[in-house]
Structure formats: structure tokens, C-alpha cells
Amino acid sequence: MPRTLTLTLTLTLTLTLTLILCTCLSVVKAQQPLIEMVSVDTASQKITISWQFTDGIDSITIYKCTNNCNSENYFTDIDKVPQSDLMWQDVTVDQSTPNYYCIGWVYSGKSPPHCNMVLETAPSDDGCNNAVLLSWNPYINMSDSLDYYRIFYRKSDTDTIFSLLDSIHGANIIGFYFDPVNKLRYNARHLESNTYYDFIIQAVNKTHSQFPFSNIVTYKTKYVADTLVPVTIDKVSVVEDTYIQIDVITNTFQNPFEKLLLLRDKPSNAPTAPDLLTFIVIDSAAHDLINHYRFKDEDADPFSGLYYYLAVAEHKCKANDTSNILTNIFLYGKRVEKYQDSIFFAQSGFNEFIPSEPYELFRIVNDLPYTVTNDLTIANYSYYVDVLPFMDDGSMPKFQIRSDNGALSNTLTLAHEPVITFPNAFFPQSVHVENQTFYPIIKFPSEENYLFLIYNRWGQEVFRSALPPIFEDPSNKQGRWDGTFKGVDCPIGLYGFKISFSYNEGAENYSESGSFMLVR
């Protein structure tokens, strides 16, 4: 065979074998195994590594680094195991520092490192003896990205399992570089005094398929006075039908609270069981040396029903003190006959019941209260009211409830069929002011669609009013004709009138017309 041909065949064979070898190596490298997670075994407290199975690989090498792990060159091989084991345990590990692990085999390189989380405890940095500061290094290179950390705890030396204390967001850290100073910190607060607790951290990926644990750490809290101190809602009162006022009384605190919170649920027309309430914070007050706090709920509608209120004294170093639950007094009623009403009221409370003394029902005339009855109780929460004795007031009666501690309800006004009369004459020069003007004498007047007109004998309109007279003040000219037209005295003689208005919330209409004499 010629030399040239031999050389050509040799080169061709060499290149072919090289190409095949490179192709195989590239395939092998593309199938690089990955660590699934590095977790501390909760029973043995040893570090366990698990990985994904890869076809065609017999054994893998375990690499480890404990210091200066910013490059894969600092990782050294510490063991070689069958890949089919799918896990390996580090039985000689020092858990006082994070340990970083990689896996690989010949020609594959090293996988991205994973590390165990080292949980440490210290006294809380907020100064509370019944709290503990937890800190741990982040979990790096977690498959499918890290989502959050779970914090579990339990009382030591018990058979109870761990309970979830809290969950916090965690950032997914990728790469070799890790700053050991950049630790996660969490204050576990309001623990029991003088008690041993166990804590453990768990990392969770976004697909919720991997849950590596940290080591378990035990911490003993110190003594903290945690005696509950009464916080009491003393009174819930409606003020001028515009807002609800809540008075809260607190005792002197050995350890003053930081903030007093006022919470409220949605309104309801009937008493509700406490476990059905959903409270939201609507106001707060900083701690003061006084023991009486007054809140204004200006978003509440006193006519919409019951509002449930709860006060919470927020503490830094102990569980919060909570008050009783108390509602406003809600007054409602209905017209049952022409001049008779059925009046009802509701109030509800929990933890400490609502006032047990009788409630007072009174009517308001000219801003002055007149007692109707003071025998109402929660058990006897309704009253049948005859309004005929109030008709001489000339205005619609307004009712209100007052508790024994001075809390007021909303006011209630029920529409009634008006009673209306007209004089047949009037005398502007009379010495009696009530006789100097002409006006309808209305008991229970209504302003809805109210219109009062006066005409002269030729049908010309000489007076118009869209508001009824104010009977409490006879000198007030509203709704009253003084016998003039455009500032000039009208002549004596016969005049006509028309009046119309709606009542009972517009469901019924009243109209009347007639005549009268103007005398001078």
C-alpha cells in the first residue's frame, strides 16, 4: 500500500475516533446529575444529600467545601458512591457552619452547589425575654426556585409534633458566591415564660416538591409577667345621629402597652354569635397616662343596625389584652295603627354582658327629652307607644333609648297621618303673635313635597311656602302669611288657600283647599 494512502487512512481513523469520543463526552456532560436538596435529617440531625437519577452513570463523586466556597476549585472530593443510591449522608459533619456540596463524575464537572441551613438562636433584639431571634443562612441554587421559608416550633421534652409558627418570603440565590453575613432573621415573639422551645426551618420551592430542613435548635425563654390586665369597652353611644362614640377604659399597666387598637365588624340587624364576627382595625391610640380612651367611628351609619366593637391593647413582650365585645344601641320601630307605634331596640355584648339595668325610652321635643318609660330591658326589648298625647306638640315625635350608663341610641321618627286645621280668619294687628299670621295648624307635619299657596279674590297668588310652620316658635314666619304682598298690606276680604304634601315616606298624599278672611 502506498505511504500516502496509509497516512491518509490513519488520519481519517484518528479524526473519526476523536469525533466519536468528543460526541460521547458531550452527551455525557449534557446529562450532568443534579442535587435535589441538602437537608438535615430530623431524627439523626445528620446532613443528607439527594440527587436525580441519570441513565448510564454508575457512580458519582461527592464534593464538599466549608470555607471560601466562591469557586468550584475550592470543593474537594470526599466520597464516591453508586448513583443508584440516590442519597448520601455526611456522618462527620460540623453543623456549626454551612457546608456546601456538589456532585459529578468523570468528564461531567461539578453540579451547582447546595448547602445545609444552619439555624442559630439568640435573645430577641427587641428586649423581650419571652422572644427569641432566629437566624439562618439562605438555601442556595434550589431547584425550581425557592419560594418561602417555614418556621416550626414546639415545646421541648414533649411528644407533640412541630407546629407552624410563621412563613416568610425567601429570595432564590443562584451561583457559587455566598455572603455568610447575609442571614435571614426572624423574631419569634409572645412565647411562654421560662419554657424550653425547639425550632426548625424548612425551605420550600415554588413547585412545592422539595422541603429541606435545617438543624433543630433548643432555646429557653426567661420570665415575663404576662398577667392579663382588663381592657373594657365601657360605652358605645350614638352622637347626634352622625357618628358612634366608643369609650374604652384600661387599668394601670405594669408594662404599658404600645398601642390601643379599636376593631369593628360589619353592621347587622340582629345579634350575632362571637365566632361569626370578622373584625378589622379602624382606629388606634398611643399609650397615655390616662385610663380612658375615646374613639369616634365616623364611617358608621347609626341607622343601619348593630356594629360590634372590640378593643385590643397591643404589647411588645406579651400576648395582647382584649376587651369585651359591645355594640351600639339600635332603635327601630313601625307604625301599627293610625297614631300608635311599636318601638324596638337591640344591643349585644360578649365577654362581659351588656348593661343589665333598665333602659329608658324617651321622646325629644325642642331638643328636650321626656321619659316615656324606664322599664325596658334586653328581655323586654319592645314598647307599644300611643302618640296621641304628643300631638299637641305640633311636630312629629322623635324617640331615643338611653342605657343605665348613659349610652344613647340613634333617634327614631315614624311618619303618621297628619292632622290639619285652618282658622277661618286672622288679624295682623292682634296683640297675640300666634293670631298675627295665617297658617295651617298641623300635627305631625311632613316636609315631603310640601306646598302651601294663598290667592286673592281674583285668583292671583300672594303667598307660597315649601316648608311647614315651625310650631315651637310662633314668631318664626316660616310657612306663615303675614297679610302682605310684595311688602304692601293686602286689603281686607276673602282669600283662598291650597295645601298638599306627601307622608309615610311618600306612600300617601294629602291635599286640601278652602277660604278665610283677612281682618284689619
Residues 427-457: tens digit of each pLDDT: 999 988 888 999 998 887 778 899 999 999 9
Q: What is the pLDDT of residue 146?
A: 93
CATH topology of domain 419-518: Immunoglobulin-like (2.60.40)
Strand pairing class (461-465; 451-455): antiparallel
Q: Is the pLDDT of residue 10 over 70?
A: no
What is d(CA 499, CA 513) in angstroms, rounded to the nearest whole number? 6
Residues recorded for the chain: 520
Cα 508 from chain centre: 44
What is d(CA 384, CA 372) in angstroms, rounded to the nearest whole number? 10
Is 138:171 a contact under the CB 8 Å cutoff? yes
Q: Which of 130-144, 230-244, 259-273 has the lowest mean pLDDT?
A: 259-273
Which amino acid, 237?
S
The CATH number given to 32-115 is: 2.60.40.10
What is d(CA 370, CA 333) in angstroms, rounded to the nearest whole number? 18
Q: What is the pLDDT of residue 21?
A: 34
List Cβ neighbours of 89 (8 Å cut-off, separation of 6 or more).
41, 44, 46, 47, 48, 49
What tens digit of pLDDT does each residue of 346-398 get? 998 887 667 667 899 998 876 778 888 988 988 888 898 888 777 776 667 78
List Cβ neighbours of 133 (8 Å cut-off, separation of 6 or more).
121, 122, 123, 124, 125, 185, 186, 187, 188
What is d(CA 106, CA 398) in angstroms, rounded to the nearest whole number? 94
List Cβ neighbours of 493 (8 Å cut-off, separation of 6 or more).
456, 457, 517, 518
Q: Is the pLDDT of residue 121 over 50?
A: yes
What is d(CA 61, CA 432) in angstroms, rounded to the nearest whole number? 116
Average pLDDT, the chain: 85
Q: What is the pLDDT of residue 387?
A: 83
Q: What is the pLDDT of residue 11?
A: 29
User: How many helices (H) and strands (E) in the chain?
Assistant: 1, 38
Q: What is the pLDDT of residue 17?
A: 35
Q: Cell 435571614 appears where?
A: 184
The reported pTM is 0.57
Cα 57 from chain centre: 57
CATH class label, 340-413 = mainly beta
Is 285:334 a contact under the CB 8 Å cutoff? no
Q: What is the pLDDT of residue 288?
A: 81
Name the CATH superfamily housing domain 231-327: Immunoglobulins (2.60.40.10)
Name the CATH superfamily housing domain 119-220: Immunoglobulins (2.60.40.10)
Most confident of 4-8, 276-280, 394-398, 399-403: 399-403
- What string of H, E and C letters represents the secondary structure of 253-287? CCCCCCEEEEEECCCECCCCCHHHCCCEEEEEEEC
Torsion, CA 257, CA 259, CA 260, CA 265, rounded to 10: -130
- In order, the DSSP letters of 393-454 are G-S--EEEEE-TT--B---EE-----EEE--SEE-TT-SSGGGSSB--EEES---TT-EEEE
Q: What is the pLDDT of residue 394?
A: 66
Q: Which of 133-137, 249-253, 498-502 has the lowest mean pLDDT?
A: 249-253
Q: What is the pLDDT of residue 410?
A: 96
Q: What is the pLDDT of residue 184?
A: 92
Is 235:407 a contact under the CB 8 Å cutoff? yes
Q: Cell 351588656 appears where?
A: 354
Neighbours of 413 (CB within 10 A): 14
- Topology alike, domains 231-327 and 419-518: yes
Q: Cell 421534652 appears where?
A: 157
Please state the domain extents for the chain.
32-115, 119-220, 231-327, 340-413, 419-518
- In order, the DSSP letters of 3-20 are HHHHHHHHHHHHHHHHHH
